[in-house]
């Protein structure tokens, strides 16, 4: 009985220490932020208008393909990545998957006014212009038509890697995905992206470890919440796309997760058996001396 | 030369040459331990096993680790964690054991303090144990630098800077320790040498001393009873095992150690596989960057209490700079436990529950260490800074009061 009391004291003091240095300390150092808002309720979006994809096709051909490729629809890249980056500051995205990756309301708001939708008014203050002009001269119907077209051409299924490459790789590298070949470096050359963003966007190989799943979701959904004043735009990913991005970062940054979990259960099962035998042996030996 | 006859078995052959039978008796079957002990007495063996885990996992890690500022981070986080078969397991085992070993060291130390196991002939056990605490701390700190993440770099920066507070030679000392004006490649390679060679060798040597220092005064027991080990051993060997107050190290004492070890290993491996974040700080998964200071720099949890004593003095007092005051207090905090056997003025070995004033002192110490540890991690602003200050002062006052507290207990008992 006395031994159990001693054990209880040790456990309690250990748990208080753990609580103090981990959950409590982290709650003090990392203030709570609101949960991600995947409906992008603050943006000036579609306003319920259902667009016409055919009409949108014409608008896109006339307004977007001068800078953006849509390779799946026969609009090839006009320049290679380095030249595009030198011209625009950053490589413009191919629009073939935009209708799937990005929330429709957000997409409408972004076309209308990229700076406001991406929450970068503090970066593009006037001296520096966003590489994509605002299309606020278009009517809401026209913008809805563009969104409808982008949605109509988007693939139904994309791999985690494709989602990551389309949504993140223009600025961010994730070198652990291809350490030898180097194919997962950022598409925009380092010097250009550094000039464009003000600093080099970090390689994301270990971000699943350094930031954790929760933080990544909160951050990607709205970077300003955790890092006020950052030059990273709010990109407007749907929840499904964001899940795929985080899943890809886990595949790359924590590739042994499944092995860890299954090995862990086996090792613990073995140790429970070891502990049982150890206690039985101890009881047998001590019966002789007590 | 001794007279050798032909041996009839391999065992006998070795016995003739190495006295293995005698050796087993001295080290195992006739090495006597008091019977009146609880599970806290198993912490020595738990520590020995944890140290063995550190050595073995460390050897595997060293096969792939690269001590170079350009390669270190990826050699750990890519090569070891993702490419090498079960490399992640060895890293997790190493990192978690490095953290858990301090939990057990603290339990072991506080057990010694509670039961008064550091005096009346046991001073060298205590002092060699404290030397182990210091060398383990150095090993923990040097090892933390090796992954070359943000926390590795900035912790190295902050801690090596402390040596700048040493009078007269401070600035030169910092450069000498770093091998550079900054924390840089030279710093990493020398801390690698310390971590994988010099410190482990020294630790193994001190462990041997620590074990040896137990032989003459013997292990303490729950009531601090003075046991006549020779008489009790004779009783045991005569078959009177139930009456004897002692048990042999093997198999009786170790059987209990193994049982405790079984529980400990479940706890430890649960942490290794499912709850390792506390031992592998997320910030250290960002590569070291000397241009970006992390918003919060803090040491691993086991250094927090002394770190808080260091920064608890955040304002100048009587013309002495806050930095110097903190450094002096930090120095005292790291040395004072060595002196425990000499500032405890109670001549008898008794557990704290039989020394009423010391008992109160002990639990205040526990609470104070808890407060220091928790506030050592929090940002030192506003009220946190004052809590840290008062907890640091309390820590120092506790040790100033100890001789008087222990003497009063002894007087009340009529022992003085």
Look at B379 and A268 and tell me if their CB atoms are within 8 Å.
Answer: no
Do B210 and B338 lie in one domain? The reply is no
Look at A286 and B256 and tell me if their CB atoms are within 8 Å.
Answer: yes
Do B83 and B166 lie in one domain? The reply is yes
What is the reported pLDDT for B1?
A: 63
Do B139 and B269 lie in one domain? The reply is yes
> pLDDT tens across A166-192, in order?
999 999 999 999 999 999 999 999 999
For residue B261, which residues of chain A lie inside 8 Å, CB to CB? 278
**Which SS3 state, helix, strand or coil, does residue B32 take?**
strand
**Which SS3 state, helix, strand or coil, does residue B353 take?**
helix
What is the reported pLDDT for A147?
A: 98
For residue B286, which residues of chain A lie inside 8 Å, CB to CB? 202, 206, 210
For residue A17, which residues of chain B lie inside 8 Å, CB to CB? 301, 370, 373-374
Q: Cα distance from A86 to chain B (closest Cα, Å)? A: 26
Look at A255 and B304 and tell me if their CB atoms are within 8 Å.
Answer: no
> pLDDT tens across A7-35, in order?
999 999 999 999 999 999 999 998 889 99
Whole-number Å distance between alpha carbons of A182 and A186: 10
The nearest alpha carbon in chain A to B241 belongs to A289
For residue B89, which residues of chain A lie inside 8 Å, CB to CB? 260, 263
Do B316 and B244 lie in one domain? The reply is no
Look at B378 and A25 and tell me if their CB atoms are within 8 Å.
Answer: yes
Q: φ, ψ for residue B320 (rounded to 5)?
A: -95, 135
The answer to whether residue B379 is domain-embedded is yes
What is the reported pLDDT for B3?
A: 84
Q: Which domain holds residue B200?
A: 35-297
Q: Cα distance from A235 to chain B (closest Cα, Å)? A: 23
Q: Which helix (H) or strand (E) covers residue B51, if one does? A: helix B43-62
> How would you classify residue B214: left for phi > 0, otherwise alpha for psi between -120 and 50, otherwise beta?
alpha
Q: What is the number of domains present in chain B? A: 2
Do B120 and B248 lie in one domain? The reply is yes
The answer to whether residue B62 is domain-embedded is yes
The answer to whether residue B6 is domain-embedded is no
Q: Cα distance from A182 to chain B (closest Cα, Å)? A: 14
Provide CB contacts within 8 A for B270, sequence distance 6+. Answer: A264, A268
**Which SS3 state, helix, strand or coil, does residue A234 take?**
coil
In CATH, what number is assigned to the domain containing residue B73?
A: 1.20.810.10
CB-based contact A237:A222 (threshold 8 Å)? no
The nearest alpha carbon in chain B to A22 belongs to B278
Give me the residue from B88, B261, B374 closest to A24, CB to CB: B374
The answer to whether residue B404 is domain-embedded is yes
Describe the crossing of helices B87-114 and B254-274 by its angle, rounded to 10 degrees.
Answer: 130
**Burial of B413 per CB tally in 10 Å (0-12, 13-18, 19+):** middle
Whole-number Å distance between alpha carbons of A187 and A173: 8
Domain endpoint, select from B297, B314, B349: B297
What is the reported pLDDT for A1?
A: 83
Do B252 and B313 lie in one domain? The reply is no
The answer to whether residue B186 is domain-embedded is yes
The answer to whether residue B139 is domain-embedded is yes
Domain endpoint, select from B273, B297, B321: B297
Whole-number Å distance between alpha carbons of A115 and A133: 9
CB-based contact B295:A228 (threshold 8 Å)? no
Give me the residue from B89, B256, B282 closest to A209, CB to CB: B282
Describe the crossing of helices B199-212 and B123-145 by its angle, rounded to 10 degrees.
Answer: 160
Provide CB contacts within 8 A for B49, sequence distance 6+. Answer: B261, B264, B265
Look at A281 and B255 and tell me if their CB atoms are within 8 Å.
Answer: yes
Look at B269 and A271 and tell me if their CB atoms are within 8 Å.
Answer: yes
Do B279 and B350 lie in one domain? The reply is no
Look at B78 and A176 and tell me if their CB atoms are within 8 Å.
Answer: yes
Question: CB-hemisphere CA count at 13 Å for B384?
Answer: 14
Give me the residue from B38, B295, B377 closest to A3, CB to CB: B38
Whole-number Å distance between alpha carbons of B172 and B181: 9
Mutation site for B-interface testing, chosen from A205, A257, A283 by largest number of B Cβ within 10 Å: A205
Do B282 and B311 lie in one domain? The reply is no
Q: Cα distance from A119 to chain B (closest Cα, Å)? A: 24
The answer to whether residue B1 is domain-embedded is no
A and B: number of Cβ contacts within 8 A? 132
For residue A178, which residues of chain B lie inside 8 Å, CB to CB? none
For residue B33, which residues of chain A lie inside 8 Å, CB to CB? none
Q: Cα distance from B79 to chain A (closest Cα, Å)? A: 10
The nearest alpha carbon in chain B to A262 belongs to B273
List, as one string, the DSSP characters of A174-209.
Answer: -GGGGTTT-TTS-SS-HHHHHHHHSSPPPP-TTHHH
For residue B295, which residues of chain A lie inside 8 Å, CB to CB? 29
Look at B259 and A279 and tell me if their CB atoms are within 8 Å.
Answer: yes
Chain centroid offset of residue A105 CA: 19
Do B342 and B394 lie in one domain? The reply is yes
Do B172 and B307 lie in one domain? The reply is no
Provide CB contacts within 8 A for B113, sequence distance 6+. Answer: B340, B352, B362, B365
Q: What is the pTM of this model?
A: 0.95
The answer to whether residue B30 is domain-embedded is no
Q: Cα distance from B128 to chain A (closest Cα, Å)? A: 24
Mutation site for B-interface testing, chosen from A9, A11, A17, A254 by largest number of B Cβ within 10 Å: A17
Long-range contacts made by residues B255-259, C-beta under 8 angstroms, separation at least 24? B255/A278, B255/A281, B255/A282, B255/A285, B255/A286, B256/A282, B256/A286, B256/B39, B256/B42, B257/B42, B257/B45, B257/B46, B258/A278, B258/A281, B258/A282, B259/A275, B259/A278, B259/A279, B259/A281, B259/A282
The nearest alpha carbon in chain B to A21 belongs to B374
Whole-number Å distance between alpha carbons of B172 and A102: 57
For residue B81, which residues of chain A lie inside 8 Å, CB to CB? 256
- CA–CA distance from A166 to each of A22, A98, A161, B112, B343 (Å)? 36, 8, 9, 61, 68
Averages of pLDDT over each 10 residues, chain B, 416 residues: 88 96 96 97 98 98 98 98 98 98 98 97 98 98 97 95 93 97 97 98 98 96 96 96 96 97 98 97 96 93 97 92 93 95 97 97 98 96 96 98 98 92
For residue B251, which residues of chain A lie inside 8 Å, CB to CB? 285
Provide CB contacts within 8 A for A194, sequence distance 6+. Answer: A200
Q: How many percent of chain A have pLDDT more than 70?
A: 100
Domain endpoint, select from B297, B320, B340: B297
Q: φ, ψ for residue A237 (rounded to 5)?
A: -65, 145
Whole-number Å distance between alpha carbons of B99 and B103: 7
Do B230 and B291 lie in one domain? The reply is yes
Mutation site for B-interface testing, chosen from A2, A8, A10, A23 by largest number of B Cβ within 10 Å: A10
What is the reported pLDDT for B53?
A: 98
> pLDDT tens across A93-152, in order?
999 999 999 999 999 999 999 999 999 999 998 888 899 999 999 999 999 999 999 999
Do B223 and B111 lie in one domain? The reply is yes
């Amino acid at each position: 009985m006395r031994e159990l009391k001693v054990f209880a004291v040790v456990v309690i003091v250990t748990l208080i220490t753990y609580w103090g240095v981990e959950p409590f300390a982290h709650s003090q150092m990392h203030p709570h932020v609101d949960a991600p808002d995947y409906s992008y309720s603050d943006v000036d979006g579609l306003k319920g208008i259902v667009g016409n994809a055919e009409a949108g096709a014409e608008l896109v051909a006339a307004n977007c393909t001068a800078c953006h490729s849509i390779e799946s629809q026969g609009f090839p890249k006009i320049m290679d990545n380095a030249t595009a980056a030198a011209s625009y500051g950053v490589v413009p995205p191919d629009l073939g998957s935009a209708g799937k990756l990005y929330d429709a309301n957000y997409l409408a708001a972004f076309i209308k006014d990229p700076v406001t939708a991406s929450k970068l008014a503090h970066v593009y203050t006037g001296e520096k212009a966003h590489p994509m002009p605002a299309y606020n001269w278009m009517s809401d119907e026209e913008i809805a038509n563009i969104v409808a077209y982008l949605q109509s051409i988007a693939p139904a299924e994309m791999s985690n890697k494709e989602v990551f490459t389309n949504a993140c790789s223009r600025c961010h590298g994730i070198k652990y995905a291809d350490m030898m070949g180097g194919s997962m470096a950022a598409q925009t050359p380092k010097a250009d992206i550094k000039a464009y963003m003000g600093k080099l966007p970090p390689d994301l190989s270990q971000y699943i470890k350094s930031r954790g799943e929760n933080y990544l979701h909160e951050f990607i959904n709205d970077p300003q919440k955790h890092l006020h004043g950052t030059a990273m735009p709010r990109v407007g990913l749907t929840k499904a796309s964001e899940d795929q991005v985080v899943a890809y970062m886990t595949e790359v940054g924590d590739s042994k997760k499944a092995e860890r979990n299954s090995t862990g259960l086996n090792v613990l099962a073995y140790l429970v058996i070891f502990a049982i035998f150890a206690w039985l042996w101890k009881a047998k030996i001590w019966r002789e001396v007590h | 030369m001794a007279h050798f006859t032909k041996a009839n078995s391999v065992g006998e052959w070795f016995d003739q040459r190495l006295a293995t039978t005698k050796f087993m008796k001295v080290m195992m079957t006739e090495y006597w331990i008091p019977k009146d002990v609880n599970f806290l007495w198993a912490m020595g063996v738990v520590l020995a096993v944890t140290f063995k885990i550190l050595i073995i996992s460390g050897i595997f890690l060293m096969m792939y680790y690269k001590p170079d500022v350009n390669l270190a981070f990826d050699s750990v986080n890519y090569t070891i964690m993702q490419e090498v078969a079960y490399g992640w397991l060895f890293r997790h085992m190493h990192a978690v054991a490095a953290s858990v070993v301090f939990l057990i060291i603290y339990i072991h130390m506080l057990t010694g303090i509670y039961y008064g196991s550091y005096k009346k002939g046991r001073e060298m056990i205590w002092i060699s144990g404290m030397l182990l605490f210091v060398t383990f701390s150095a090993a923990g700190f040097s090892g933390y630098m090796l992954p070359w993440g943000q926390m590795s770099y900035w912790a190295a920066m902050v801690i090596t800077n402390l040596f700048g507070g040493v009078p007269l030679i401070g600035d030169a000392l910092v450069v000498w320790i770093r091998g550079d004006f900054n924390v840089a490649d030279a710093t990493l390679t020398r801390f690698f040498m310390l971590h994988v060679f010099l410190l482990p060798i020294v630790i193994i040597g001190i462990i041997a001393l620590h074990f040896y220092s137990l032989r003459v005064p013997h292990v303490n027991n729950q009531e601090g009873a003075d046991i006549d080990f020779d008489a009790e051993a004779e009783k045991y060997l005569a078959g009177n095992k139930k009456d004897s107050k002692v048990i042999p190290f093997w198999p009786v004492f170790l059987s209990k150690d193994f049982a405790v070890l079984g529980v400990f290993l479940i706890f430890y491996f649960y942490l290794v596989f499912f709850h390792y974040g506390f031992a592998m700080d997320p910030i250290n998964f960002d590569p070291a960057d000397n241009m970006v200071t992390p918003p919060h720099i803090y040491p691993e949890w086991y250094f927090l209490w002394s770190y808080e004593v260091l920064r608890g003095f955040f304002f100048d007092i009587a013309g002495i700079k806050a930095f110097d005051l903190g450094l002096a207090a930090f120095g005292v905090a790291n040395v004072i436990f060595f002196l425990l056997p000499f500032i405890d003025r109670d001549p008898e070995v008794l557990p704290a529950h039989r020394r009423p004033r010391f008992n109160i002192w002990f639990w205040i110490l526990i609470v104070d260490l808890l407060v220091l540890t928790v506030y050592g991690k929090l940002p030192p602003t506003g009220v946190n800074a004052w809590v840290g200050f008062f907890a640091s002062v309390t820590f120092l006052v506790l040790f100033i009061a100890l001789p008087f507290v222990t003497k009063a207990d002894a007087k009340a008992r009529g022992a003085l």
